Structure 1
Amino acid sequence: MVTEEQNTPNSFSCLKNALDVIGGKWKLCVIVAVWQGNKRFRDIGKYVEGISPKVLSGELRHLEMNGLIERTVHTGRPVVVEYSITDYGRSLDSLITAFVKWGMTYRNNCDSS
């Protein structure tokens, strides 16, 4: 239920800002994949089934730009690039948990539409 306090122009602006950062088909899935620990590009692509390499690259870039994940380049042979969740990204824990619970509760409704 949306409270009167939440139903203000400022709250809608904040919601829009949040959706600009984490909205879309893949962003939360990529965050969850990286959450499991440092991940390489290929590992994330395998975890997030159905995402193309081009889209994954864009999502990682967007999430890094917004401070939710961190990209680390390990020099050497071969060069290794790993992604990890930041503390700012971990602040999404309760939101992701709520989405998972909602999805489990309403799975049948989602599958039938």
Structure 2
Amino acid sequence: METAQRIDKWLWHARVTKSRSLAQKLAISGHVRVNREKIDAASKQVRIGDVLTIALERRVLVLRILGIGTRRGPAVEAQLLYEDLSPALPPKTDAVREEGARDPGTGRPTKRDRRQIDALRRGED
């Protein structure tokens, strides 16, 4: 049984990234820390018990390695490789909307609305 594995391979086996080349780019770009130390090589060896901090586009993952993967299996198998220590996301409320979300009815005008707008522009009632 393996005791260590390349970080890019582990990220791919744990399904953090969709491909191994994306895992390599993530590791090289400096968005991954192993035990609080920033890494800059995809060949960095990780072991069971290491804590990874991964800065993704919209969130930060904190994962403790529980196992070394031998293959990229289904998601259920991949979740056995780590313990998620990420901070909990704040609950969404109706008062706080996602950026770019609109209130119902404020999107594109309907066909009826469009006719009324055109009539107003022409000066009709």
**TM-score normalized by the length of structure 1:** 0.29
Larger radius of gyration: 2
The structure richer in strand per residue is 2
The structure richer in helix per residue is 1
Bigger relative contact order, structure 1 or 2, given CA contacts below 8 A and separation 6+? 1
**TM-score normalized by the length of structure 2:** 0.27
